Amino acid sequence: MAKASTITIDGTAAAGKSTVAALLSKVLGYLYLDTGVMYRAVTWAVLNQQIAVSDEAAVSELAEKLTIEVTSPWQTDGRYYTVLADGRDITWKIRSQEVEAHVSRVSSYRRVRTALTAQQRRIAAAGSIIMVGRDIGTVVLPEADLKIFMCASAEERARRRYKELLAQGKSANYEQIFTAIQQRDKKDRENPVSPLVPAADAVMVDTDKLTIEEVVARLIELSG
């Protein structure tokens, strides 16, 4: 079997997609692209140009003009990739609380998603890429060589998040985390623009009883 050049990883929130993709990209020597960073890039540009996030037309117009590049890391500062907006390195700027507060609304706009889908396909055309998101295998790259859909029970995902927060020295309430994950799942499934559903030919990977290392090993095997 030929080695997969384009790999998509979709799945439920907190299923471990980003962690697995980052590790897999290092093993395969592929570019890791979490498509969420592109929506963050648009959100940062909107805020930077003082455009009202509620102005769907203006936000969409900016998204259609903005050139976003995602490349392998340029610096050894903990980044998994470098994010450029019209040539400007904004890798860490897109992680601000202000961007976090508005990215959900920006990503809900249909024209924004259409514009970024085109850019994601452009980047993926070079091959040797692992692209992570919610609708990559169904909408963005339906012809990808390998499509993965990662899932885990809400209980398991809440447990992992709870332990993660405690390990970081932060306070955490399991029941609140569990409820939030259930609400996120419902929102993702019912999203009118890009509902969370596995592609018909996706390989389902249930991570409930698997370690991160076991999931990565499984994907290496699948990638050929």
Could you tell me the residue ranges of all domains in the chain?
Answer: 6-219
d(CA 53, CA 22): 30
Exposed/middle/buried for residue 120 (C-beta within 10 Å: 0-12, 13-18, 19+): buried
Which one is predicted more confidently, 220 or 2? 220
List pLDDT tens digits, range 59-76: 999 999 999 999 988 888
Q: Which residues have CB under 8 Å from 29's CB, separation 6+?
A: 128
Give 162's Cβ-side CA count (13 Å radius): 15
Q: Are 38 and 48 in contact (CB under 8 A)?
A: no
Helix (H) or strand (E) holding 132: strand 129-133
56-65 helix and 110-124 helix, angle to the nearest 10 degrees: 10
Exposed/middle/buried for residue 224 (C-beta within 10 Å: 0-12, 13-18, 19+): exposed
Q: Which residue has the tokens 């447990």?
A: 159
d(CA 11, CA 189): 11
List pLDDT tens digits, range 90-132: 999 999 999 999 998 999 899 999 999 999 999 999 999 999 9
Give the residue-averaged pLDDT of 137-142: 95
d(CA 205, CA 222): 11
List pLDDT tens digits, range 145-197: 999 999 999 999 999 999 989 999 989 999 999 999 999 888 888 887 778 89
CATH class of 6-219: alpha beta
Q: What is the pLDDT of residue 74?
A: 84
Q: Are 205 and 218 in contact (CB under 8 A)?
A: yes
In the predicted structure, residue 16 carries a pLDDT above the cut 70? yes
